[in-house]
């Protein structure tokens, strides 16, 4: 019965799930693009997968704009409007970082040395795990699942772990004999990779606050 009166809210809810699905696709294509470089070293499918990553990132942007338009169309109460828009904007930082890393590799023609490949794989694996947990946490917020709080601590743990890996990789890079210019390039890329879990952690804490605010 209520569905007839509150079409916009239901539309927003469904668009948010579409948005999260798109982010998962962005994340998947990013992972494939990066791994194609790490595995083969020749980056055969890299360009195609980078374009695919961009395509899904753009689609997520379009969905976000659609949600925004519906929000300003007076759906939802102002506090929820602000919370959801703020949440989507901070989640949106993640695909932006993913795209930035791929573009760095592409435009700066970065060559990833073998001695850091396994560490980078570990860093990316843990970072993307954080993203998956974050998407799960976002869904938990909209489903009022009890799981929400436990996910905050898992994401927080991943963030600390990623910080540790990031420092280890940077130390390894600067201990090596590669060209100093390449060292700086790689350091910049690793810092951006570390930002993925940092941002996931920030968003996760934001979700926790949104949920706590609704406990009166």
Partner 1 sequence: MLSLLGGVFLGWSLGANDASNVFGSAVASRMLKFWTAAVLASVFVLLGALLQGQAGIETLKGLTQFTLEQAVVSSVAAATTVTIMTILGLPVSTSQAVVGAILGIGILNQQLNLAGLGKVVACWFGTPVGAAVIAVIIYKVLAAFYNNLKINLFQSDILIRLLMIAAGSYGAYALGANNVANVTAVFVGAGHLSVFSAALIGGLSIGLGILTLSKRVMETVGKKLVRLDPFSALVVLLAQSITVHIYTFIGVPVSTSQAVIGAVLGVGIVKGISTVSGRTLANILIAWLLTPAIAGFFATALDFVIHLQYVPHP
Alpha carbon of 31 to those of 83, 87, 136: distances in Å? 29, 24, 18
142 contacts: CB under 8 Å, gap ≥ 6: 13, 16, 17
Name which of residues 75 to 94 contact partner 1 (CB under 8 A): 76-80, 83-84
Q: What minimum distance in Å lies between the beta carbon of 216 and partner 1?
A: 5
* Beta carbon nearer to partner 1, 80 or 176: 80
Beta strand residue intervals within the chain, DSSP E: none
> Taking CB under 8 A as the rule, does residue 1 contact partner 1?
no
- The values of phi and psi at residue 75, to 5°, are -85, 150
Instruction: Using only the alpha carbons of the chain, give its radius of gyration.
Output: 19
* Count of positions on this chain that bind partner 1 (CB under 8 A): 23
Q: What is the largest CA-CA distance in the chain?
A: 69
Nearest C-alpha neighbor of 19 from the set 58, 73, 70: 58
Tokens linked to 164 = 């540790």
Q: What minimum distance in Å lies between the beta carbon of 149 and partner 1?
A: 15
Name which of residues 6 to 65 contact partner 1 (CB under 8 A): 6, 9-10, 12-13
Q: What minimum distance in Å lies between the beta carbon of 147 and partner 1?
A: 13
Q: What minimum distance in Å lies between the beta carbon of 196 and partner 1?
A: 26
Name which of residues 106 to 165 contact partner 1 (CB under 8 A): 141-144
Which of the 8 DSSP states describes residue 148? H
* Beta carbon nearer to partner 1, 35 or 139: 139
Give the residues lining the site for partner 1 (CB under 8 A). 2, 6, 9-10, 12-13, 74, 76-80, 83-84, 141-144, 210, 213-216
């Amino acid at each position: 019965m209520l569905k007839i009166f509150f079409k916009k809210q239901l539309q927003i809810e469904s668009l948010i799930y579409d948005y999260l699905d798109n982010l998962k696709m962005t994340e998947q294509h990013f992972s494939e693009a990066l791994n194609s470089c790490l595995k083969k070293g020749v980056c055969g499918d890299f360009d195609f997968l980078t374009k695919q990553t961009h395509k899904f990132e753009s689609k997520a942007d379009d969905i976000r704009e659609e949600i925004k338009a519906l929000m300003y169309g007076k759906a939802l109460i102002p506090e929820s409007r602000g919370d959801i828009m703020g949440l989507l904007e901070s989640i949106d930082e993640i695909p932006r970082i993913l795209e930035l890393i791929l573009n760095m590799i592409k435009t700066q023609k970065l060559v990833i040395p073998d001695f850091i490949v396994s560490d980078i794989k570990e860093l990316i694996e843990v970072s993307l795990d954080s993203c998956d947990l974050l998407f799960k946490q976002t869904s938990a917020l909209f489903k009022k699942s009890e799981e929400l709080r436990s996910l905050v601590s898992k994401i927080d743990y991943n963030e600390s772990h990623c910080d540790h890996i990031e420092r280890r990789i940077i130390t390894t890079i600067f201990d090596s004999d590669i060209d100093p210019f390449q060292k700086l390039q790689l350091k910049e890329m690793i810092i951006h990779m570390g930002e993925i879990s940092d941002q996931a952690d920030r968003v996760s804490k934001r979700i926790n606050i949104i949920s706590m605010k609704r406990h009166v």
